[in-house]
Amino acid sequence: MTVSESNEERAGDDEPKRSTPDHAVDFPPVENGVDYLLSVVEHLTAEKPPGPRHLKYAVLHLQAATEVLLKARLQREHWSLVFAKPETATRKNFESGTFDSCTTEGTIARLQGIAGVVIDDKTVGYVKDLIKSRNALQHYGLTYSARSVESHAVKVLDFLLAFVHTELLPALSPDEVRKVAGTLETVGEDVRTIQSFIKRRLNRLKGELRAVQDKTVECPSCDQWAMVVGGQEGEPTCHFCHQNWGDRGANGAADLYQWARTEDSEVIEPCPTCGVKALLLDCVQVAADPLTRCSLCFGCGTRHDDLPACNACEKLYVPDKDTMGLCGECEYLATR
Ligand SMILES: [Zn+2]
Ligand SMILES: [Zn+2]
Ligand SMILES: [Zn+2]
């Protein structure tokens, strides 16, 4: 069995899992990973925009490429490091492929902490998002739009291409390098084509979004500065990927936004203006002022910086002239 087959059959990325060793004799890891990259760009460029089936395989193969290539580097550091528990590693199990291998997130942590590989936070975020969308796809079917997958995938592809060049190729023999060089070139060209296509669409959007810069945020689905909050429906609209936020609407968008930035669920509050639990505290950057982190409601689009919390119920409220330190409801109950 090849690595590809075992990868595709696995359910999630949160659990350690069985895997065949990445050094499979018939298909060495770097060659295998680069082959996955080629498949990703083939699926992304097959149709315009890519259909559901192409998107599905683009996401699955991108996740497989990420895992195989990152692990190839970790394995170069030491083969035992690809075990979920390196202390249980034996050469015999490694060679037969009978072991629980570490998760992709674990691989990144080991690359950073042990192998001294520099991977910036933004990229780690993209990879985590990729794992998340792969799992969502595997379990619930694809819910991300074509534009969103494309724009996200291109960032991970960009990172992996650089990673292959700086971290993996230098350790290969000239013969092995020759084997992957042509494919890498094709992948690079396709990635640049997709990038310039995305850039053209963003340029076209510029005029459209000029008047709403103070309500435009980075879309948590496609990572483009194209999501406008506070529209008529009380739901954010991304002008780039047109992500549909489904039943959870503004709350779902806010949830994904904060997850990508803070991994802290404490920052979403019910908005005192519209009542929807979509007020993100101190973590939103708007296009008009991307250097400041503000508090913004993803439902009604109202800016609510530095709201006081009610002394009685601890809910955030908009203070009026009087200074009792209570929200409207508690004040009403207290003065009755
Ligand atoms: Zn978007
Ligand atoms: Zn609101
Ligand atoms: Zn209160």
Question: Tens digits of per-residue pLDDT, 308-325?
Answer: 888 888 888 888 766 678
* Token pair recorded at residue 269: 């509050």
What does the alpha-carbon distance between residue 89 and residue 80 come to, in Å, rounded to a whole number? 6
Element (H, E) at 182: helix 174-209
| CA 222 / ligand 1 centre spacing (Å) | 4
Distance 233 CA to ligand 1 centre (A): 17
CA 269 to centroid of ligand 3, rounded, Å: 14
* Model pLDDT, residue 234: 78
Whether the per-residue pLDDT at 122 is higher than 90: the answer is: no
Q: What is the 3-state secondary structure (H, E, C) of 137-152?
A: HHHHCCCCCHHHHHHH
Domain ranges across the chain: 3-172, 211-335
CA 116, CA 23: separation in Å to the nearest integer? 22
> How far is ligand 1, taken at its centre, from the CA of residue 277, in Å?
21
CATH 1.20.120 fits 3-172, yes or no: yes
Among 144, 121, 184, 116, residue whose Cα is nearest residue 58:
144
Find the 60 Cα to ligand 1 centroid distance in Å.
Answer: 20
Give 244-284 pLDDT, tens digit per residue: 776 678 888 888 888 777 666 668 888 989 989 999 988 89
Ligand of minimum distance to the alpha carbon of 302:
2
Provide the pLDDT for residue 3.
39
